[in-house]
Structure 1
Amino acid sequence: MLNMLNRWYQRRFSDPHAVSLVAILLGGFLTIYFFGSLITPLLVAIVLAYLLEWPVARLTKLGLPRTFSVMLVLLLFAGLMSLALFGLVPTIWHQVVNLTADVPKMFNDLQVYVSSLPERYPDFVQPAQVVDLMNNLREKVLGMGESVVKGSLASLVSIATLGVYLILVPLLIFFLLKDKDEMMQTLLKVLPKNRRLASKVGSEMNEQISNYIRGKVIEILIVGIASYVTFAVMDLRYAVLLGVLVGLSVLIPYIGAAAVTVPVAMVGLFQWGWTPDFWWLLLAYGIIQALDGNVLVPILFSEAVNLHPVAIIVAVLVFGGLWGFWGVFFAIPLATLVKAVWGALLSAEDELDDVEQV
């Protein structure tokens, strides 16, 4: 057994470039795993810098100085974010307050409906089952209320952190965009010399991550706006809040869409009951999800969709468990990275076999 493992190790890692690739990946993994919470502003800035690099590069190609291009793009981005913050957030907050106030009435309506089940279906539902179900639901609702109160108290503490982010993140984005080439040269000096495979994988992943972040933002906007328009046309309550939730749900492939179906269906059910309007809502929501998964995602992520859905779900579970939100957000690029690294190691082994045969 030991001899077999030794042969496998010698075959896979006899190439110094392969060893350098694994060492760089291991160093990055350990850094994010142990210090991820400390460098969160830097991670946020890197994501936004990837998003804004495309317009900066386009302005630079038109002949504008890079520093001026960076400042112009950042000002436009800050203006859009301010518009969204002051225009959208108050509406969302107002709808959250209204929904919270309606929860007791929704719970009472549910209790009345469930209590009538033994009379409607005496052969299938017993009164004792209804009592146990309602007690469990009541405990869940009370638990959610306590969590909301604790979250509100915790949010007061995080206001100071948010203030720091609002100062640090724009500064980091500015310098990441402005001094991109100088920083890359400094980073290359620190990395191992034998990095042919690492450079190959890095070049591929740099393009992948840039396209992924840009595509994901576009997907969020398209799905969110389409959902809001659909809900508003159908006169569904909390249309803005639900539209935002549906848009953000695309951050978590497959799982997010399934999870956000619950609040959409519950609001529609308590507003209309088991009427045709409720079923039209589910049909419209299903069409949006089908178009997103079968049309929009293949267009925006033509390379990423080569991954099997099982691989994507496993990536969400594994990387989300390791790195929380960032692991979920980058689940598809990280899965693509694993695939690219595996392919690079196999190609290095094939090259070694060709040399040995010669």
Structure 2
Amino acid sequence: MRKIFNKWIDNYFSNEEVILLLVLLAGALGVILYLGQALTPVFISIILAFLMQGMIIWLKEHHVPHLASVMLVFTFFIGALLSLLLFIMPLAWKQSVNLFNELPGMVTQAKEVLLLLPQQYPDVFSEQQITQIIDLTTTELRKLGQMVVTYSLSSITGLVALLIYVVLVPILVFFFLKDGSNLVRWWVSFLPQKKAMLTQVWTEMDQQIANYVRGKVIEIVIVGSVTYAAFTLLGINYAALLGIMVGLSVLIPYIGAALVTLPVALIGFFQWGWTNEFWYLMLAYGIIQALDGNVLVPLLFSEAVNLHPVSIIIAVLVFGSVWGFWGVFFAIPLATLIKAILNAWPKSHAFVQDDRSAETK
């Protein structure tokens, strides 16, 4: 057994590039785990600059100078950031506060509906079960209220952090856009001359991650905007809040759409009941989800890596539990990185020959 294990180690871990790759991955993981909170503005700035790099490349291909391309793209970024901070987020926050204030009335309406179930379906529901459900819901809402109060008390600290991000992130984004190529060359200069495996992994990952991240941001914007427009036309309350929720739900493949259906249906039901307006709402929501899954996703991610749905779900669960929102956002790129490493991992010729000889026998 020991001989077999040693042979496996020699075949897969004797290459010096493998050791280098493992050291780099371990170093990156250590930086994220121990310095991730302090370096969050840097990581956010790198991601934003990476998203806008395609626009700069397109402008340069049309004979626009590098600095002029950077200034045009950065101006667009500042405009989008100001729109988010001055219009979208205040509207979503206002609707969130209104929703929280109306929760007691919704709970009362839900109680009236639930208490009718034992009368209509006595064989399925008992009055004790309904009472337990109502008590559990009331307890959870009280916890939610305490959470909101706690957050409001600590909002001063959050406001200071937000102001730091608003000032620091745009500055970092500008310099990453302007000098990103020079920074990459500087970091690469510290690597050994022999780095064929690293080059293969980087080449495979660069285009795929770029396509995925940019495509995912475009998908969030399109789905959220279309949902907000459709819900506003239908007249449902909290259209902006629901539009943001539906837009962000595309971050979690297969699961996000199912989870966000519940608040959409509940708000529609509490506003209209079992009326035609409610079914129009659910029909519009279903059409948006169908178009997203069958038209928009294939169009945006036609060049992205093809992963099995089971691999995607496992990646979302694992990386989401480790790194929260960013783990969910980068779950598919991280799974793609693992796949690229496995594809580039050097294999011993002797090991391959032994396998072929065994298959021949």
TM-score range, shorter chain: over 0.9
Residue 354 of structure 1 and its aligned partner are, at CA, apart by 7.7
Structure 2 counterpart SS, 1:262: helix
**Is the Cα–Cα contact under 8 Å of residues 117 and 125 in structure 2 kept in the other structure?**
yes
User: Which residue of structure 1 aligns with residue 359 of structure 2?
Assistant: none
User: Which residue of structure 2 aligns with residue 186 of structure 1?
Assistant: 186
Which of 326, 344, 349 does residue 347 from structure 2 map onto?
349
Residue 105 of structure 1 and its aligned partner are, at CA, apart by 0.7
- Structure 1: which amino acid aligns with 2:131? V
Counterpart CA distance in 2 for 1:145 and 1:309 is: 37
TM-score, structure 2 length as denominator?
A: 0.92
Pick closer, same or farther for the CA change 1:305–1:189 going to 2, 3 Å. closer
Residue 232 of structure 1 and its aligned partner are, at CA, apart by 1.9
Counterpart CA distance in 2 for 1:29 and 1:90 is: 35
User: Which residue of structure 1 aligns with residue 111 of structure 2?
Assistant: 111
Counterpart CA distance in 2 for 1:209 and 1:307 is: 13
Residue 22 of structure 1 and its aligned partner are, at CA, apart by 2.4
User: Which residue of structure 1 aligns with residue 46 of structure 2?
Assistant: 46
Residue 165 of structure 1 and its aligned partner are, at CA, apart by 1.2
Q: Deviations over 1:69-110 (max 9, x none)?
A: 212211221012212322222322222222122111100000
User: Which residue of structure 2 aligns with residue 324 of structure 1?
Assistant: 324
User: Which residue of structure 2 aligns with residue 31 of structure 1?
Assistant: 31
Q: Deviations over 1:224-250 (max 9, x none)?
A: 122112212222111121111101111
Pick closer, same or farther for the CA change 1:69–1:303 going to 2, 3 Å. closer
Structure 1 counterpart SS, 2:189: helix
- Structure 1: which amino acid aligns with 2:36? G
- Structure 1: which amino acid aligns with 2:189? K
Q: Deviations over 1:30-85 (max 9, x none)?
A: 22122211210111001100111112222223333322321221122101221232
**Is the Cα–Cα contact under 8 Å of residues 227 and 288 in structure 1 kept in the other structure?**
yes
User: Which residue of structure 2 aligns with residue 255 of structure 1?
Assistant: 255
User: Which residue of structure 2 aligns with residue 124 of structure 1?
Assistant: 124
**Is the Cα–Cα contact under 8 Å of residues 223 and 247 in structure 1 kept in the other structure?**
yes
Residue 275 of structure 1 and its aligned partner are, at CA, apart by 2.5
Pick closer, same or farther for the CA change 1:33–1:194 going to 2, 3 Å. farther
Structure 2 counterpart SS, 1:349: coil
User: Which residue of structure 1 aligns with residue 7 of structure 2?
Assistant: 7
Residue 299 of structure 1 and its aligned partner are, at CA, apart by 1.7
**Is the Cα–Cα contact under 8 Å of residues 12 and 348 in structure 2 kept in the other structure?**
no
User: Which residue of structure 2 aligns with residue 299 of structure 1?
Assistant: 299
Counterpart CA distance in 2 for 1:233 and 1:53 is: 36
Q: Deviations over 1:277-321 (max 9, x none)?
A: 323322321221122122211221124461111111110111112
User: Which residue of structure 1 aligns with residue 157 of structure 2?
Assistant: 157
**Is the Cα–Cα contact under 8 Å of residues 33 and 322 in structure 1 kept in the other structure?**
no
User: Which residue of structure 2 aligns with residue 82 of structure 1?
Assistant: 82
- Structure 2: which amino acid aligns with 1:265? A
- Structure 2: which amino acid aligns with 1:6? N
Pick closer, same or farther for the CA change 1:29–1:61 going to 2, 3 Å. same
CA RMSD of aligned residues (A): 2.1
Counterpart CA distance in 2 for 1:208 and 1:341 is: 14
Q: Deviations over 1:105-138 (max 9, x none)?
A: 1000001111122222222222222222211111
Structure 1 counterpart SS, 2:94: helix
Q: Which moved more, 1:319-328 or 1:191-200?
A: 191-200
Is 1:134 the counterpart of 2:134 in the alignment?
yes
Q: Deviations over 1:199-230 (max 9, x none)?
A: 11112212222222211111011111221122
Q: Which moved more, 1:64-73 or 1:145-154?
A: 64-73
Residue 355 of structure 1 and its aligned partner are, at CA, apart by 9.9
Alignment of 1:309-320 (within 5 A): 309-320=309-320
User: Which residue of structure 2 aligns with residue 145 of structure 1?
Assistant: 145
Instruction: Extract structure 1 runs of 4+ deviating beyond 4 A.
Output: 350-357
Residue 17 of structure 1 and its aligned partner are, at CA, apart by 2.2
- Structure 2: which amino acid aligns with 1:57? I
Percentage of matched positions with identical amino acids:
46
Counterpart CA distance in 1 for 2:2 and 2:291 is: 52
Counterpart CA distance in 2 for 1:2 and 1:287 is: 58
Residue 350 of structure 1 and its aligned partner are, at CA, apart by 6.4
Q: Which moved more, 1:140-149 or 1:296-305?
A: 296-305
Residue 176 of structure 1 and its aligned partner are, at CA, apart by 1.2
Runs of 5+ in structure 1 lacking a partner? Answer: none
Counterpart CA distance in 2 for 1:271 and 1:5 is: 65
Equivalent pairs, count? 355
User: Which residue of structure 2 aligns with residue 58 of structure 1?
Assistant: 58
**Is the Cα–Cα contact under 8 Å of residues 11 and 348 in structure 2 kept in the other structure?**
no
Counterpart CA distance in 2 for 1:327 and 1:110 is: 35
Counterpart CA distance in 2 for 1:93 and 1:325 is: 19
- Structure 2: which amino acid aligns with 1:189? S
TM-score, structure 1 length as denominator?
A: 0.93
Residue 353 of structure 1 and its aligned partner are, at CA, apart by 6.0
